[in-house]
Amino acid sequence: MKVFRAANAYASPLRYEIDSKDLIKIYLEIEGEGWELGGIYHSHTKSPAVPSQTDINEARWPDAVYLIVSLADAGNPDVRAYRIADSTVSEVELAIS
């Protein structure tokens, strides 16, 4: 397993898009290693850890788990996971082992 960090092309706390250079680099490494994309993560700085309409509209990888970290309560971050396919959102149980 490997975690890739990527820049936010919008440089905004309200909207994100993975920088295209980072996306290509990440995708080529995943493909080159024969890996599968397992998950995509981002934060919501002021809202709950549930997919926004923008998250749903821009979900491009139906087999990936989308992890959202809410920082709305700075002292108590909330992490939740979802599958998003064909505009359908299903929460996925997280288990830490």
63-88 pLDDT per residue, tens: 999 999 999 998 899 999 999 999 99
pTM of the model: 0.88
The helix/strand/coil state of 24 is helix
**What confidence score (pLDDT) does residue 71 get?**
93
Q: What are the C-alpha distances in Å from 15 to residues 9, 43, 53, 55, 59? A: 9, 10, 12, 9, 14
Hey, what domains does the chain have and what are their CATH numbers? 1-35 (no CATH), 38-92 (3.40.140.10)
How many Å apart are CA 24 and CA 64, to the nearest integer? 17
Is residue 15 predicted with pLDDT exceeding 90?
A: no
How many Å apart are CA 52 and CA 57, to the nearest integer? 9
